[in-house]
Amino acid sequence: MDSDVSSKPASAAKAWIILAAAVLMAAPFVVLALRTGEASPATAGMAWIPGGEFTMGSDKADEKHAEEAPGHAVAVKGFWMDITEVTNAQFKAFVDATGYVTDAEKDLDPRQFPNAPAEMLKGGSLLFKKVSGVNPFQCGGGNLPWWNFTAGANWQHPDGAGSSIKDRMNFPVICVTYKDAQAYAKWAGKRLPTEAEWEFAARGGLKDKPYVWGDEERPNGKIMCNHWQGKFPERDSGADGFTYVAPVKSFPPNGYGLYDMAGNVWEMCEDWYGTEYYKVSPKDGPTGPVIGHDPEKTGYGQHVIRGGSWLCDEGYCFRYRATARQGLDTLTSTNHAGFRCVSDQPAPAKK
Ligand SMILES: [Ca+2]
Ligand SMILES: [Ca+2]
């Protein structure tokens, strides 16, 4: 009995000593991490993007990519950015913690869409399917035959009902909408990047380069991102190693340590999409047009997506370039668009 009584304070004291020793041992590493500007827990998996002035967009844009012109001076403040696209594992953690249900998992309200056929009101996403004998340049607007609304396709079942992400936890989450991306960002204590922040970060410290890695599309013959090789939308040779979404970090990072800023999946930005916005954009911290309504395409507006995807070929899309931009219908989820987040946590201490 005596030994029991005396051992309790003794073991408690021992535990405290071990704890204190652990804290003391860890302290130098914490101090070192702060000094060298490494991420704190709030910025784990993120890189500090220092901010600065740059030329956003390009004066060299051809008529197929006129929305990238004109090149114009923009300044952004420093911020943290996820080094990868948000993965299925990360998105699952959010859903597990909150019970969040994505847009693609919900049926639409027929009162809200009285003219839509019943099959279009089921929850689902747009999935890409190869099509033969089509000239993509002759397609446009709502007539893109390689997109198929697939009921039952959502982030957990990205190839449709019965498919699974079990073996794709390090792939970017897809089949989510802008609203889903915003909800994730809020839960994570982060936000979506503005389009200007995204482009500044994508350039990785390089100046006026067409690609996020430099001047040449294939330096020394090497394909630098996950995109489409071959005749779109018919045949993808997969010369880059992938004919679908790739796991994040499958290609080298840019100058800021960010992966897949070109290709893999398009990345949603906070801004509404405006094809003419660069003509009127302010210089300091632009946040996009007030209304991104594009009546040619949709009545519901579009948000900016950046970086291109595994579906971008060299001839038709060609949007795995630093200045490329596109709009995505705000209510639409697809299997070529995801997102990454940024954070306004304090800048790392100077070395
Ligand atoms: Ca590919
Ligand atoms: Ca990407």
Residue 5 has pLDDT above 50, yes or no: no
Of 197 and 38, the one with more pLDDT: 197
Of 9 and 206, the one with more pLDDT: 206
**Gap between the Cα atoms of 84 and 253, Å rounded:** 9
**pLDDT level of residue 4 (50, 70, 90 thresholds):** very low
- Is the N-terminal amide bond of 50 cis, ω within 30° of 0? no
Of 7 and 325, the one with more pLDDT: 325
**pLDDT level of residue 117 (50, 70, 90 thresholds):** confident
From the number of C-beta atoms within 10 Å of its C-beta (0-12, 13-18, 19+), residue 255 rates as middle
**pLDDT level of residue 1 (50, 70, 90 thresholds):** very low
In a domain, 297, yes or no: yes
In a domain, 84, yes or no: yes
pLDDT at 6: 41
Q: Is 28 left (phi over 0), alpha (psi -120 to 50) or beta?
A: alpha
pLDDT at 109: 86
User: If you measure from the C-alpha of residue 245 to the centroid of ligand 2, how many angstroms do you get, rounded to a whole number?
Assistant: 10
**Gap between the Cα atoms of 221 and 9, Å rounded:** 69
- Among all ligands shown, which has an atom nearest to the Cα of 336? 2
Residue 22 has pLDDT above 70, yes or no: no
| Structure token pair of residue 196 | 């200007």
Q: Which residues of 68-102 are buried (b: 16+ CB within 10 A; e: fewer)?
A: bbebbebbbeebbbbbbbbbbebbeebbeeeeeeb
Question: Which amino acid type is present at position 57?
Answer: G
User: If you measure from the C-alpha of residue 285 to the centroid of ligand 1, how many angstroms do you get, rounded to a whole number?
Assistant: 33
Residue 45 has pLDDT above 90, yes or no: yes
pLDDT at 299: 54
- Among all ligands shown, which has an atom nearest to the Cα of 171? 2
**Partner residues linked to 65 by β-bridges:** none
- Among all ligands shown, which has an atom nearest to the Cα of 174? 2
| Rounded (10°) CA dihedral 218, 236, 161, 149 | 100
pLDDT at 101: 98
pLDDT in tens, 265-280: 999 999 999 999 999 9
Find out whether 259 and 246 touch, Cβ atoms under 8 Å: no
pLDDT at 351: 67
- Is the N-terminal amide bond of 233 cis, ω within 30° of 0? yes
pLDDT in tens, 59-111: 999 999 999 999 999 999 999 999 999 999 999 999 999 999 999 999 988 88
Q: What is the mean pLDDT of the chain?
A: 89
User: If you measure from the C-alpha of residue 315 to the centroid of ligand 2, how many angstroms do you get, rounded to a whole number?
Assistant: 19
Instruction: Identify the three-state secondary structure at position 198.
Output: helix
User: If you measure from the C-alpha of residue 126 to the centroid of ligand 1, how many angstroms do you get, rounded to a whole number?
Assistant: 19
Q: Which of 312, 308, 317 is nearest to 337 (CA)?
A: 308
User: If you measure from the C-alpha of residue 345 to the centroid of ligand 2, how many angstroms do you get, rounded to a whole number?
Assistant: 23
Residues surrounding ion ligand 2 at CB below 5 Å: 260, 264, 307
User: If you measure from the C-alpha of residue 240 to the centroid of ligand 1, how many angstroms do you get, rounded to a whole number?
Assistant: 5
In a domain, 17, yes or no: no
Query: What CATH number is given to the structural domain containing 124?
Result: 3.90.1580.10
pLDDT at 116: 85
Phi, psi of 124 (to 5 degrees): 175, -175
- Among all ligands shown, which has an atom nearest to the Cα of 236? 1
Strand blocks (E) in the chain: 46-49, 52-56, 72-76, 79-82, 124-128, 147-151, 266-272, 302-306, 325-329, 337-338, 342-343
**Gap between the Cα atoms of 272 and 270, Å rounded:** 7
User: If you measure from the C-alpha of residue 17 to the centroid of ligand 2, how many angstroms do you get, rounded to a whole number?
Assistant: 48
User: If you measure from the C-alpha of residue 5 to the centroid of ligand 2, how many angstroms do you get, rounded to a whole number?
Assistant: 62
**Gap between the Cα atoms of 79 and 345, Å rounded:** 7
In a domain, 10, yes or no: no
Count of the separate structural domains present in the chain: 1
Phi, psi of 46 (to 5 degrees): -120, 160
pLDDT in tens, 209-236: 999 999 999 999 999 999 999 999 999 9
Residue length of the chain: 351
In a domain, 187, yes or no: yes
User: If you measure from the C-alpha of residue 146 to the centroid of ligand 1, how many angstroms do you get, rounded to a whole number?
Assistant: 17
pLDDT in tens, 161-186: 999 999 999 999 999 999 999 999 99
Report the DSSP pairing between strands 302-306 and 266-272: antiparallel
In a domain, 164, yes or no: yes
Range of the domain at 241: 36-343
Cα R_g (the chain), whole angstroms: 23
Of 190 and 5, the one with more pLDDT: 190
Q: Which of 248, 97, 88, 243 is nearest to 164 (CA)?
A: 88
Average pLDDT over residues 20-48: 62
pLDDT at 21: 54
Residue 7 has pLDDT above 50, yes or no: no
pLDDT at 123: 96
In a domain, 183, yes or no: yes
User: If you measure from the C-alpha of residue 236 to the centroid of ligand 1, how many angstroms do you get, rounded to a whole number?
Assistant: 7
**Gap between the Cα atoms of 201 and 327, Å rounded:** 19
pLDDT at 86: 98
User: If you measure from the C-alpha of residue 224 to the centroid of ligand 2, how many angstroms do you get, rounded to a whole number?
Assistant: 12
User: If you measure from the C-alpha of residue 323 to the centroid of ligand 2, how many angstroms do you get, rounded to a whole number?
Assistant: 13
**pLDDT level of residue 36 (50, 70, 90 thresholds):** very low
pLDDT at 112: 82
